[in-house]
Structure 1
Amino acid sequence: MRFWLLCGAALAGTMVADTASADTLREALLQAYNVNPTLTGARARQRAIDEGVPIAKAEARPLVDSDVTFQQNYRGISPFQDNGRSISAGATASYPIYAGGRIKNSIRAADTRVSAGQADLLATEGAVFTETVAAYMDVIRDVSIVELNQNQVKVLETNLQASRDRFDVGDLTRTDVAQSEARLSDARSRLTVAESTLTTSRENYRRLVGLLPGMLEPPPPLPTLPQTPNEAVRIALDNNANLKASEENAKAAGYDVRTARASRLPSLSASTGVSYTDYLGTLDNVTGSAAGLNPKDAFTDSFFGLRARMPLYQGGGPAARIRQAQALQGQALEQVIEVERLVIADARSAFGRYMAALETIESSQQAVAANRLALEGTRAENSVGTRNVLDVLNAEQELLNSQVLLVTARREAYVAGFALLNAMGQAEMRDLGLDGGTLYDPIVNYKRVRNKAWDWSDDPAPTTQATRTATPEEDPRAQGPVTPPSN
Structure 2
Amino acid sequence: MSGLRRLLVIGFVSVALKAHGLTLQESIRLTLETHPEVLAARHEYSSRGAEVRQAKSGYLPSVDLAAGIGRQSLESQSTGGDEVSLTRHETSLSARQMLFDGFATSEEVNRQQARASSAQYKAKEVEDNTALRVTEVYLNVLRFQDLLNLARDTLYEHQNIHDQMVLRNKSGVGSKADLDQITARLALAQSNMITAQSNLLDAKTNFYRVTGIYPDFDKLEAPVVKATLPTNIETAESMALQQHPTLLSASADVDSAEAQYDASESVFWPRLQLEADRRWDQNIDGVEGGTNDAIVALRMTYNLYAGGGDKARRKQTAYQLEAAREIRNNTQRQVVESLRLSWSAYRTIADQLKYLKMHVRAASDTKSAYRKQFNIGRRTLLDLLNTENEVVDSRRALINALYDQTFSQYRVFNSMGQLLEKIGSTKS
TM-score in terms of structure 2 length: 0.88
CA-CA distance at 1:393 after TM superposition: 1.5
Q: What secondary structure does 1:70 align onto?
A: strand
* 1:152-181 Cα deviation digits (max 9, x unpaired): 122222222222222222222222222212
Q: CA deviation at 1:33?
A: 2.8
What is the distance in 1 between the residues matched to 2:150 and 2:247? 43
Higher mean C-alpha deviation, range 197-206 or range 245-254: 197-206
How large is the Cα RMSD of the aligned pairs? Answer: 2.1
Instruction: Output one character per residue of 1:197-226: Cα deviation in whole Å (capped at 9) or x when no partner.
Output: 222221222223221242211112332212
- Is the CA contact (8 Å cut-off) linking 1:138 and 1:201 kept in structure 2? yes
**What displacement does 1:433 show?**
4.0
One-letter code aligned to 2:98: P
2:5 is matched with which residue? none
**Residue identity in the other structure for 1:253:** A
Asked whether the equivalents of residues 123 and 428 of structure 1 are also in contact (C-alpha less than 8 Å), the reply is no
The CA distance in 2 between the partners of 1:318 and 1:84, in whole Å, is: 46
Unaligned regions of 5+ residues in structure 1, if any? 1-19, 288-293, 441-487
Mapping for residues 415-430 of structure 1, pairs under 5 Å? 415-429=407-421
Q: Which moved more, 1:99-108 or 1:237-246?
A: 237-246
In structure 2, give the amino acid aligned to 1:307.
Answer: R
Deviation string 1:21-73 (CA, Å, 9 cap, x unpaired) is: 53212221221232222222211111011112111112222111111111113
2:309 and 2:196 map into 1 onto residues whose CA distance is 64
Map 1:82-231; keep pairs closer than 5 Å.
83-213=85-215, 214=217, 215-231=219-235
What is the distance in 1 between the residues matched to 2:61 and 2:385? 86
Which residue does the alignment assign to 1:317? 309
Q: State the percentage of identical aligned residues.
A: 22
Contact 1:360 1:406 in 2 (8 A): no
Q: What corresponds to 2:54 in structure 1?
A: 55
TM-superposition CA deviations, 1:119-154 (whole Å, max 9, x none): 222222221111111111111111100111112122
**Correspondence list, 1:340-379, <5 A:** 340-379=332-371
d(CA) in 1 for partners of 2:330, 2:195: 40
Letter in 1 for 2:391: L
Q: How many residues align?
A: 401
CA deviation string 1:98-136 (max 9, x = no partner): 111111111111112222222222222221111111111
Say which SS state the counterpart of residue 59 (structure 2) adopts.
coil
Aligned pairs (5 A) from 1:233-252: 233-252=237-256
Task: State whether residues 41 and 119 of structure 2, in contact with CA within 8 Å, keep that contact through their aligned partners in structure 1.
Answer: no
Structure 1 stretches (4+) deviating beyond 4 angstroms? none
* One of 387, 390, 396 as aligned partner of 1:395: 387
Amino acid at match of 1:182: A
Q: 1:262 and 2:266 equivalent?
A: yes
Cα distance in 2 between the residues matched to 1:180 and 1:316: 87
SS at match of 2:276: strand
CA distance in 2, matches of 1:370, 1:126: 41
CA distance in 2, matches of 1:26, 1:75: 80
1:395 & 1:305 partners in 2: Cα distance?
A: 98
Matched, 1:306 2:298: yes
Question: Is this contact kept in 2: 1:222–1:418, CA < 8 A?
Answer: no
Residues in 2 aligned to 1:55 and 1:154: alpha-carbon distance in whole angstroms: 70
Aligned position for 2:21: 22
**What amino acid is aligned across from residue 270 of structure 2 in structure 1?**
P
Distance 1:378 1:92 in 2: 100
- Separation in 2 of the partners of 1:186 and 1:330? 61
| Residue type at the aligned position of 2:274 | A
Further displaced range: 408-417 or 36-45: 36-45
What whole-Å deviation, never above 9, does each CA across 1:368-402 have from its counterpart, x for those lacking one?
11111111111111111122222221111111111
Distance 1:177 1:327 in 2: 77
Q: 1:192 deviation in Å?
A: 2.2
Partner of 1:32: 31
Structure 1 length normalisation: TM-score? 0.78
Partners of 2:25 and 2:423 within 8 A in 1: no
Is residue 48–residue 116 contact of structure 2 (8 Å, CA) maintained in 1? yes
SS class of match (2:223): coil
Find the aligned partners of 2:71 and 2:119 in 1 and give their Cα distance.
55
Structure-2 separation of matches of 1:21 and 1:401: 33
Aligned equivalents of 1:404, 1:333: Cα separation in 2: 47
- Mapped to 2, the partners of 1:155 and 1:83 lie a distance apart of 109
Contact 2:144 2:196 in 1 (8 A): yes
* Contact 1:222–1:417 (CA under 8 A) maintained in structure 2: no
CA distance in 2, matches of 1:151, 1:339: 48
> How much does 1:232 deviate?
1.6
- Unaligned 5+ segments in structure 2 are 1-18, 76-82
- Taking the aligned partners of 1:200 and 1:61, their CA distance within structure 2 comes to 58
Moved more, 223-232 or 66-75: 66-75
Structure 1 residues 64 and 147, CA gap change in structure 2 (3 angstroms): same
